[in-house]
Structure 1
Amino acid sequence: MSSSMPVRRRLRPGLTALVLGPLLVGLGSCGVLGAAPAPSTSSAAAPTGASPAAPSSSPAGGPSASASASAGGPAGPASTPSGTPSSGATPAGDAAGRCAALVRRLTPEERVGQLLMVAVTSTGMTAEQAAAVGRTQAGSVILLGNSTAGLKAVQGVVADVRAAAVRPQRVNVLLAADQEGGLVQRLAGEGFSDIPSAQQQARLSDEELASKAETWGDQLDRAGINADLAPVADVVPRELAAVNEPIAGLRRGYGSSPSVVAAKVDAFTSGLGEAGIATAVKHFPGIGKVRGNTDTATRVVDTTTTRRDPGLAGFRAAVDAGVDMVMVSSVVYTKIDRARQAAFSATVVDGMIRGDLGFDGVVISDDLAAAAVQDFTPGRRVVGFVRAGGDLAIVGDPTEATTMAQALVERAAADPAFATRVDESAARVLALKDRRGLADC
């Protein structure tokens, strides 16, 4: 398929970056690019029972799955009690089934590439970044860093990314950005509206927010961006508003009422969907009750959120509204899985997102190069995420992308069950692309 494949823009609601170096400070939970903080000296402990990271020279990305499981590390899934699916579950299963046949025609490297979203700078992709995108055959790319150069400049970056990408037949590359609003609006300048923060968006009626979101989505569509890593469904209790760094501190939340948050998440998701833009609700199962930021803190723990928490309402609303992706956080939730961060927990990914929410679309990670996951090698991180049931890994530091791709290929070659997991995830990603006009299953 050529890069000129027409993009299917309008869908019915409910149908569901190489050297960023010291400037990179995550994306999903923080969303602000700045100077990297000094290493933490007070909270560097890994999740309960986790072993130290394997040497970075390990080509397979760390110890065996059995070793990781016994140690509580990222590659060892926990048990996954089943739940009751949401009545509005995204009907992606059939599409993923159709796309499975396309997956079987891909090489192992191409299949793994569909599981990676590699970062490039939004103001212009470097030669090293282009090489990382091509070498890993990355199926998705995220534009990181703030650009005020306007829509035409972003179109140029998008064209460069598409030229650098290695695209299997009938599959195009997906371009994403963090375009929440307020302090987290990556793309600005002529052709882009000044998007208000979620805190300000919450003052709009649901109808007005949906209409404005459609306009913001149209602008992304004209720029060549296919996915917005938004909305934020995290609920910050009033008593934590002064200390919650990742959401309240950046005015990224819709409020302290789960029902209000759910209504605004629904409106934002529906509006972007009307513009043909894929969405990713975040950061499951919520980072509104924590203090630290996983982009900069080496260990962030939530001791309050439960599996049936009222604060999950926004995520259910997003699924009902046809959200394409659910982003899982890198926080440890002691009342859900005290041994593993959510991104590495099958209880969270398979049990809660797949089971409790009934979501059959793409589960995307928060940045797998962020501070909170640095206790593990890049290979262990990505293998652990996929083994837990994750589909699409955000690689905020492209220098780690090749290692991650290699770890996935080697683990799949050595472990038939893991190879099946890779194929399942690739099919889900292709189903998303099929819905958004970026693949033909």
Structure 2
Amino acid sequence: MYRLSLEGAVSLTKMPQVRIPSFHAVGAAAVLLALVMGVATGEPASAGRAATTPSVRELVGQRLVVAIKGTRPSASILERIRQGEIGGVILFGGNITGPAQLQQLTSALQAAARAGGRPPLLVATDQEGGAVRRLPWAGPTSGASELGGMKSAVIRQQARTAGAALRAAGVNVDLAPVADVAGPGSFLALQGRTYGTSPAVVSAAVSAFTLGLADAKVAGTVKHFPGLGAARQNTDQHAIRIPIGRTAFDQGLEPFKAALATGVPLVMVSNASYTTLDQKPAAWSPAVQRLLRGDLGFTGATITDALDGAAATRGMPLGSAAVLSAQAGVDLLLLIGSEASSEQAYDQLLAAAEAGRIPVASLRRSYDRVQRLKAAYA
């Protein structure tokens, strides 16, 4: 193992010092070269910080969105944030008791990032409407199935009001709206979480919802790309394979295209597999990334659906699922299990990056997309 520094090179160019943690020699050489090139070419700086080149630990850490336990952050979570090992936090109902408590929680999390000289955190939650509202005092009180029958202006206003409540509490990412077109037996439709069975109806509702959130400076997230409306079971508990034909597959893409046209900044990638593209879960599929970025032209950030379920249903460690998603090119990796499990996943991702199994160029592309998202919303 080696511990390398760019101390000499940086002093010659009068740039800030860049340190890289210990890693295998081959991986070290690749990372060292890439980081030197980043200094020389003046790549984009982290949101809210002076121009510096991120370490490998931060290139990896900024990809993680993790769950926390309780209504106050643990000392270990705060330290990991200070160390740059976490880029965002997802909050659930058990983390929230009221507006004042939530604002105190998010302020403490952001203070830890500032104390470590790190970029601000993405603070995310699921505020879809109806039963899926982590902030029970905020809207929309109507679920997606009801919203789908309303005018676009009404949906936008409800999303704007919800976004304002999120923003006031320190939440800057809403993992909504659901852009899936419901098919027969859709588990999402049974839960009242889809806007309808028509691509046109869903497209209009999704566009209005994302625009309303943007009005409140909250990042909307269309999910679950490339479409989960045909799934009859939840991907958190089952390994889902969707064998629909190309025509139905393309129809399911329409709401995502509509959302992209509004400038939605974040797309959540499904854990299902799509035989139209390949046999891999979408979060692990380079073909899905090519569809989203190549065919549809999306330039924003991507996030996985919760990887804990995807890993469990396919009999693999969480860290392995995270590495596969990172290798496929998904920018943000959502981990909703224990704090210990997310820390173990970070260690496995870091080891993969240090060994060169996650290319440095890919790490930097994702890092830059995440920082652009943070600059706009965090």
Structure 1 residue 332 corresponds to structure 2 residue 273: yes
Question: Which of 130, 134, 141 matches 1:182?
Answer: 130
> 1:51-101 deviations in whole A, cap 9, x for unaligned?
xxxxxxxxx9xxxxxxxxxxxxxxxxxxxxxxxxxxxxxxxxxxx963489
Structure 1 residue 162 corresponds to structure 2 residue 102: no
2:57·2:85 contact (CA, 8 Å) conserved in 1?
Answer: yes
Pair 1:234–1:193, CA change in 2 (3 A): closer
1:122·1:154 contact (CA, 8 Å) conserved in 2?
Answer: no
* Structure 1 CA distance for aligned equivalents of residues 284 and 234 of structure 2: 18
Pair 1:194–1:273, CA change in 2 (3 A): closer
* Structure 2 CA distance for aligned equivalents of residues 401 and 417 of structure 1: 18
- In the alignment, structure 2 segments of 5+ residues that lack a partner are 1-22, 24-41
* Structure 2 CA distance for aligned equivalents of residues 327 and 104 of structure 1: 29
State the secondary structure of the residue aligned to 2:90. strand
Percentage of pairs with the same residue: 36
Question: Which of 287, 291, 294 matches 1:352?
Answer: 291
Aligned to 1:106: 54
State the secondary structure of the residue aligned to 1:149. coil
The one-letter amino acid of 1:219's match is A
Aligned to 2:26: none
Aligned to 2:148: 202
> 1:378-431 deviations in whole A, cap 9, x for unaligned?
221111101111100001013221222222222222217612211110111001
The structure whose RCO (Cα within 8 Å, separation 6+) is larger is 1
Question: Which of 213, 226, 231 matches 1:272?
Answer: 213
Aligned to 1:368: 307
Aligned to 1:145: 93
2:129·2:140 contact (CA, 8 Å) conserved in 1?
Answer: yes
Q: Report the Cα offset of residue 106 of structure 1.
A: 1.5
* Structure 2 CA distance for aligned equivalents of residues 305 and 278 of structure 1: 32
Q: Report the Cα offset of residue 168 of structure 1.
A: 5.5
> Number of residue pairs matched?
333
Pair 1:395–1:133, CA change in 2 (3 A): farther
Q: Report the Cα offset of residue 252 of structure 1.
A: 0.4
The one-letter amino acid of 1:210's match is R
1:214·1:275 contact (CA, 8 Å) conserved in 2?
Answer: yes
1:305·1:333 contact (CA, 8 Å) conserved in 2?
Answer: no
2:113·2:119 contact (CA, 8 Å) conserved in 1?
Answer: no
Structure 1 residue 286 corresponds to structure 2 residue 234: no
Question: Which of 224, 228, 242 matches 2:170?
Answer: 224
2:178·2:193 contact (CA, 8 Å) conserved in 1?
Answer: yes
TM-score, normalised with respect to structure 2: 0.81
State the secondary structure of the residue aligned to 1:265. helix
* Structure 2 CA distance for aligned equivalents of residues 100 and 134 of structure 1: 15
- In the alignment, structure 1 segments of 5+ residues that lack a partner are 1-59, 61-95
* Structure 1 CA distance for aligned equivalents of residues 208 and 369 of structure 2: 24
> Which aligned pairs between 1:14-413 and structure 2 lie closer than 5 A?
98-99=44-45, 105-121=53-69, 123-127=71-75, 129-130=77-78, 133=81, 137-145=85-93, 149-165=97-113, 169=117, 171-189=119-137, 192-193=138-139, 195-237=141-183, 240=184, 243-245=185-187, 247-297=188-238, 299-304=239-244, 306=246, 309-338=250-279, 340-349=280-289, 351-371=290-310, 373-374=312-313, 375-397=315-337, 398-413=339-354
* Structure 1 CA distance for aligned equivalents of residues 70 and 156 of structure 2: 26
Q: Alpha carbon RMSD of aligned pairs, Å?
A: 2.5
- Greater helix content: 2
Q: Which runs of 4+ in 1 moved over 6 A?
A: 100-103
The one-letter amino acid of 2:120's match is N
* Structure 1 CA distance for aligned equivalents of residues 223 and 331 of structure 2: 15
Pair 1:345–1:330, CA change in 2 (3 A): same
TM-score, normalised with respect to structure 1: 0.70
The one-letter amino acid of 1:145's match is G
State the secondary structure of the residue aligned to 2:220. strand
Larger Rg: 2
1:302·1:333 contact (CA, 8 Å) conserved in 2?
Answer: yes
* Structure 1 CA distance for aligned equivalents of residues 132 and 110 of structure 2: 24
The one-letter amino acid of 1:381's match is A
* Structure 2 CA distance for aligned equivalents of residues 205 and 335 of structure 1: 34
The one-letter amino acid of 1:186's match is R
